[in-house]
Amino acid sequence: MHTPPSALLATRGLDKQFAAPVLRGVDFTLNRGEIHALMGSNGAGKSTLCNIIAGIHQPSGGSLLLEGGRYQPASIRDAEAAGVRMVMQELNLFPNLSIAENLCFRQLGNRAGIINRHTLRARAREALARLQLDDLDPDLPVAALGVGKQQLVEIARVLAQPVKLLILDEPTAALTDPQIDQLFLQLDALRQSGVGVIYISHRMSEIQRVADRVSVLRDGVLVATETARDLDIDRLVHLMAGPAMVHVPATGATPRPSGAKSRPPPGAVALRLEAFGRRGAFSDINLELHRGEVLGIGGLIGAGRTELLRALFGADSADSGWLRLPADGFSHRHRFRSPRQAIAAGIGLVVEDRKGQGLLLDKSIAMNISLGKLPQLHNGLGVVDDTAITRNCEQLCDTLEVKRDSLAQAVNQLSGGNQQKVLIARWLLQDLDIVLFDEPGRGVDARAKLRIQQLIRELAARGKAVVVVSSETEELLALSDRVIVLSNGRLAGEFDANTVTEEDLLAASFRYYSQGQQGRRPAVETSP
């Protein structure tokens, strides 16, 4: 196959086989100074292709060329030595090391184990400033950051090194719009300087903004490479889904799963928060959750949204205020000290960081979905009723279209989006009264996202109280009946999802980051 002179990287007839073939005869070319988007459904092979280029996996067949020469990285180190670097889909930081140590990890042991803290910090600051993260304290442990900030630190870490070919595997899944703008500025600068970038994303709007060309993978086959400018969304969806699929949403916009106007008024109060707070995370939250209602929570990354959900779920404890529950007629003050207590009270949490907190990666799909449900699936003899588990799990996996060989397959063999679906399936099986979702659409493709949104709406229709945190305004509005906004840990607004505008949400998001916030009580606004 002819490779153009401007080609930075080319793959020829690349094959990869795990249990089944995952990549088949892939001829992919990346030019210098090009941002090349890689698209395709969950499980299509995007991460696998990039993992091979980055030296994480070795191909089963075919070859790679870098700047015209044979390129066979046997490890990440090999790839990095050749100037190929990847920001992985799953976070790859050391949670207990500080931001500075993570950023300068390679330099850490250089001088006989003596670390110059001052230099380290200065280098870290420089790397952080590139992504406008000047306000981050480089001495903080990475574990103290939310997933969005961790993602940015990861990107900063990779950009701090010299790079010829940069791979970003869904870098924006946990980022807010201003952070995405910042990242795109960086990418532009890299493009100007001749770096080649492979950019994986499920978001069409981003691709059209940032990419020069788009390649589409379907079931491990590269079905097309086209100029981004010329590619309309209908055609892209058609390429990704293949001829067999119909009824795929044709635009980036997600239709609201059920008619907003016809929705019944919210039901009884399922949970009441009174002056609920956790030092350093959020404070003075007064709020009611209703049965049959989806409550959306907006705000910037780090505003305290994830922390609030975690405290409701008992994963972290609140240290001020309390919860009141209908079970005791709202007469008792509750604070959960563990998820076990929260689950007993009927509350479940679908976390955003599936790797760190959600899944037992080396265990089977069936095990991961039925976790927590096992005691109820015992039959009269005390033996786990396998048929019941299997039936339930198969059904959920079918509904969510989890791409799998069998239910016995370990979760770490699934693609990122399919792992997310397993996590969601687990909580759907639980049948709790209150379900909290943290970024449910993160990393799943457009079809799966719509499915998940439908399932969330169905939960509400069945009388559950549902809470959804999402950084994507579109998703937030598509899902919610009511939206609240957290700003710097405080309740900065409450809106009807049918009438609220993006400007309303943005204004509320920034409210308590401005000067003079000390000691002021949040003025909660309700739209008419």
Residues lying near Mg ion in the complex (CB under 5 A) are found at 47, 89, 415-416
Which residues, listed in sequence order, are joined to residue 7 by a DSSP beta bridge? Answer: 31
Q: Which two tokens stand for residue 425?
A: 């399936």
By 3-state DSSP, what share of the chain in percent is helix, strand and coil, each rounded to 5? 35, 25, 40
SS3 sequence of 63-75: EEEECCEECCCCC
Per partner kind, with CB cut-offs from 5 to 8 A, the member of Mg ion, ligand ATP, none near residue 418 is: ligand ATP
Q: What are the E-state strand segments in 460-505?
A: 465-469, 482-487, 490-496
Per partner kind, with CB cut-offs from 5 to 8 A, the member of Mg ion, ligand ATP, none near residue 43 is: ligand ATP
Per partner kind, with CB cut-offs from 5 to 8 A, the member of ligand ATP, Mg ion, none near residue 413 is: ligand ATP
Q: Confirm or reject binding of residue 241 to ligand ATP (CB under 6 A).
A: no
Which residue in 73, 146, 417, 493 binds ligand ATP (CB under 6 A)?
A: 417
Give the length of the chain: 528
**d(Cα 460, Cα 462) in Å, to the nearest integer?**
5
Per partner kind, with CB cut-offs from 5 to 8 A, the member of Mg ion, ligand ATP, none near residue 215 is: none
Which residue in 14, 136, 414, 422 binds ligand ATP (CB under 6 A)?
A: 414
| CA 499 and chain centroid, separation | 27
Which residue in 403, 430, 458, 461 binds ligand ATP (CB under 6 A)?
A: 403
Contacts of 34 (CB under 8 A, 6+ apart): 8, 191, 196, 197, 212, 213
Q: Which of residues 28-67 bind ligand ATP (CB under 6 A)?
A: 40, 42-48
Which residue in 416, 440, 493, 522 binds ligand ATP (CB under 6 A)?
A: 416
Pairing of β 490-496 and β 482-487: antiparallel
Q: Confirm or reject binding of residue 415 to ligand ATP (CB under 6 A).
A: yes
Q: Return the SS3 of 355.
A: helix
Which residue in 14, 22, 35, 131 binds ligand ATP (CB under 6 A)?
A: 22
CB of 47 to ligand ATP, least distance (A): 3
Q: Confirm or reject binding of residue 314 to ligand ATP (CB under 6 A).
A: no
Greatest distance between any 2 Cα atoms in the chain: 75
Contact between residue 166 and residue 197 where contact means Cβ atoms under 8 Å apart:
yes
The residue count for binding ligand ATP (CB under 6 A) is 20
Binding letters toward ligand ATP, positions 88-127, x by CB under 6 A = -x--------------------------------------
Residue nearest ligand ATP, CB atom distance = 417
Q: Which two tokens stand for residue 302?
A: 């780090």
The DSSP result for 151-211, as a single string, is HHHHHHHHHTS--SEEEEESTTTT--HHHHHHHHHHHHHHHHTT-EEEEE-S-HHHHHHH-
Per partner kind, with CB cut-offs from 5 to 8 A, the member of Mg ion, ligand ATP, none near residue 114 is: none
CB of 5 to Mg ion, least distance (A): 31
CB of 186 to ligand ATP, least distance (A): 23
Closer to ligand ATP by Cβ: residue 446 or 479: 446
Which has the closest alpha carbon to 528: 491, 490, 501, 488? 501
Return the exposure string of 451-470: e unless at least 16 CB atoms fall within 10 Å of the residue's CB, then b: bbbebbbebbeeebbbbbbb
Closer to Mg ion by Cβ: residue 90 or 226: 90
Q: Which of residues 426-445 bind ligand ATP (CB under 6 A)?
A: 445
Per partner kind, with CB cut-offs from 5 to 8 A, the member of Mg ion, ligand ATP, none near residue 414 is: ligand ATP
CB of 265 to Mg ion, least distance (A): 41
Helical residues (DSSP H) of 273-385, grouped into ranges: 305-312, 339-344, 365-370
CB of 443 to ligand ATP, least distance (A): 6
Q: Binding segment for ligand ATP among 66-74, 277-285, 413-421, 493-501 (CB under 6 A)?
A: 413-421
CB of 44 to Mg ion, least distance (A): 8
Q: Confirm or reject binding of residue 26 to ligand ATP (CB under 6 A).
A: no
Contacting residues toward ligand ATP, per CB under 6 A: 18-19, 22, 40, 42-48, 89, 403, 413-418, 445
